[in-house]
Amino acid sequence: MNHVTQAKVVQVIEHSKVIREYILELEKERKYNPGSFVQLTLDLVTASDIWPESRTFSIASYEKGIMKFIIKNVGFYTSRIFDELGVDDKCTIKYPFGDLFNKNFVNEKHLFIAGGVGITPYLSLIKYYELNNLLNNISLFYSAKYFKDLLHYEPLKNVLGENMEVFITREKCTGCHSKRISIENVKRIADKETNIYVCGSKSFNKDYKELLNENGYTKIYMDEWE
Ligand SMILES: Cc1cc2nc3c(=O)[nH]c(=O)nc-3n(C[C@H](O)[C@H](O)[C@H](O)COP(=O)(O)OP(=O)(O)OC[C@H]3O[C@@H](n4cnc5c(N)ncnc54)[C@H](O)[C@@H]3O)c2cc1C
């Protein structure tokens, strides 16, 4: 059963002109798995109302009482969110959705592959692994066009250390790979038993799904946004 609650914006962080992080305080909270997503509507409704127009966003945090979302302004509704949702404003969220996380598999190896804003579902998953002292089971490949585009780089590096590799595709970068993620990079980290997650743009997801399939990987989980 999905839960509907109103939530108040307590902070908005502007990562760039088109990417904002919204930090919301929930009126009523319920348990959810890391890697889950919500439906967010600007309308103030309750569970018994007809659900209005909304968009889906990954929960980019795993903390009590608050939820963080990283939203890229790409179209009709996200531009409404940018215009209409500021500090102290309220919206309604319905959650949790999604099955990216399975508690039975936490002791297995996991490789998270993120392109750009596709880092969002992993932020809550990484927090879960950190809180449960299971960080040795996860690795992150994080790709972006430019180094400045990386979201939460410092905190991720502090938590993951060597288990995070950064791939920058449009500029030279020290301490990271100045190229796309290749299958050789994946093979160095992941064997056929590794659970591999992919989240990025439509073309990023398509390319890596094909590449992984062609190379015999079967435990692939996609977080597809379109
Ligand atoms: C499971 C899941 C998790 C998601 N998590 C996130 C998240 O954490 N953060 C996030 O930002 N988004 C996330 N999304 C995507 C989000 O739900 C919206 O689909 C997205 O933000 C677009 O909504 P919109 O109304 O702004 O765009 P719409 O107006 O509905 O447009 C949809 C798409 O069409 C494109 N488009 C619109 N108009 C044109 C045009 N004239 N020409 C060409 N292309 C056009 C837009 O670029 C956009 O990509 C997630 C989606 C899913 C399914």
Render each residue's pLDDT in the chain as its tens digit; 226 residues.
789 999 999 999 999 999 999 999 999 999 999 999 999 999 999 999 999 999 999 999 999 999 999 999 999 999 999 999 999 999 999 999 999 999 999 999 999 999 999 999 999 999 999 999 999 999 999 999 999 999 999 999 999 999 999 999 999 999 999 999 999 999 999 999 999 999 999 999 999 999 999 999 999 999 988 7
Distance 193 CA to ligand 1 centre (A): 32
Ligand 1 cavity residues, CB under 6 Å: 37, 55-58, 70-72, 74-78, 117, 120, 223, 225-226
> Where in the chain do CATH 2.40.30.10 domains reside?
3-97
Q: Rounded to an integer, what distance in angstroms lies between the CA atom of residue 133 and that of residue 190? A: 20
Minimum CA distance residue for ligand 1 atom 1: 225
pLDDT for position 102: 94
Q: Give the per-residue pLDDT at 32.
A: 96
Q: What was the pLDDT predicted at 2?
A: 86
pLDDT value of position 53:
98
Q: What are phi and psi of 49, to 5 degrees?
A: -80, 155
Inter-residue contact 7 to 92 (CB < 8 Å): yes
Predicted confidence at residue 9, as pLDDT, reads 98
Atom of ligand 1 nearest to the CA of 56: 17
Q: Which of 139, 152, 135 is nearest to 110 (CA)?
A: 139
State residue 182's pLDDT score.
98
Q: Are 108 and 137 in contact (CB under 8 A)?
A: yes
pLDDT at res. 4: 97
Side chain identity at 120, as an amino acid letter? T
As a whole number of Å, the end-to-end CA separation of the chain is 24
Pocket residue to mutate for ligand 1, from 38, 57, 99, 198, most atoms within 8 A of Cβ? 57
pTM: 0.95
Closest CA to 134 of 169, 171, 109: 109
Closest residue by Cα to residue 35 from 107, 127, 159: 127
pLDDT at site 136: 97
**Is 135 in contact with 122 (CB distance < 8 Å)?**
no
CATH 3.40.50.80 fits 103-222, yes or no: yes
Supply the residue whose CA is at minimum distance from atom 42 of ligand 1: 75
Residues carrying CATH 3.40.50.80, the chain: 103-222
The Cα 175–Cα 165 span in angstroms is 9
Q: Give the CATH superfamily of 3-97.
A: Translation factors (2.40.30.10)
